[in-house]
Amino acid sequence: MLRAHGQAARKPYSIALAPAQARERGYLEFLIKTDGETPEGRELAALRRGARVEAHGPIGAFVLPDRPVEHHLLFIAGGAGIAPLRAMLWQVLARRSRLRVTVVYSARSPRHFAYLAELRRLATARRIELVLRATRRAPAGWRGDRGRPDTSLLRALIQSPATLCFLCGPPGLVAGAASRLRRIGIAAKRIRMEKW
């Protein structure tokens, strides 16, 4: 839970760094939409270097297990929902495990993808499989997919029902992806969801 010092309301944000990264760097990182749509976003956007921010937590149960029994992790993110999944992604990569990691990331348009260069570098290095989907606007030269993840895409990405899935983003994306995953044979206990 974050708020600018003196601000009345706290708002939940997901930490966007893996625990080891936060320890090494000595700070926490958050992905905060500051376009002025919410009072909290406006107040946090107005902060400058050195400003005081109050944090409470972390809290919640949307976390990566220490030793997943599954051999494939599927991360499905929408917009700023990439933040906690990025933290989990780096946690997995730091462990140097042999887990197969797939990231399906949807955003309104290509300019709305956070951490895009970083994700593309990981995909180019074959550390992750990356699927990008623009849901509203995309330039003529856009080479990614369009629309939210559909059943055919998920079926193509999942080779085994023993896939651990993490979903974070707008409620419609999360609910729709969870329903599709169940339809293609992923057990409910292997579908972890965080909504905002």
- 64, 91 Cβ separation under 8 angstroms: yes
- Rounded Cα–Cα distance for residues 5 and 3 (Å): 6
CATH 3.90.580.10 fits 72-195, yes or no: no
Mean pLDDT of 134-143: 77
Mean pLDDT of 177-193: 96
pLDDT value at 129 more than 90: yes
β-bridge partners, 130:
103
* Residue listed under structure tokens 């707008």: 170
pLDDT band at 125 (very low <50, low <70, confident <90, very high): very high
pLDDT in tens, 16-55: 999 889 999 998 898 887 766 666 667 777 788 888 888 8
**Region class of 169: left (phi > 0), else alpha (psi between -120 and 50), else beta:** left
* pTM of the model as a whole: 0.90
pLDDT in tens, 1-16: 888 888 877 888 889 9
pLDDT at 182: 97
* Domain limits, the chain: 2-55, 72-195
pLDDT value at 72 more than 90: yes
| DSSP structure string for the chain | -EEETT-S--B---B-S-HHHHHHHTS--B----SSSSHHHHHHHT--TT--EEE-----S----SS-S-SEEEEEEEGGGHHHHHHHHHHHHHTT---EEEEEEEESSGGG-TTHHHHHHHHHTTSSEEEEEESS---TT--SEESS--HHHHHHH-S-S-EEEEEEESHHHHHHHHHHHHHTT--GGGEEEEE-
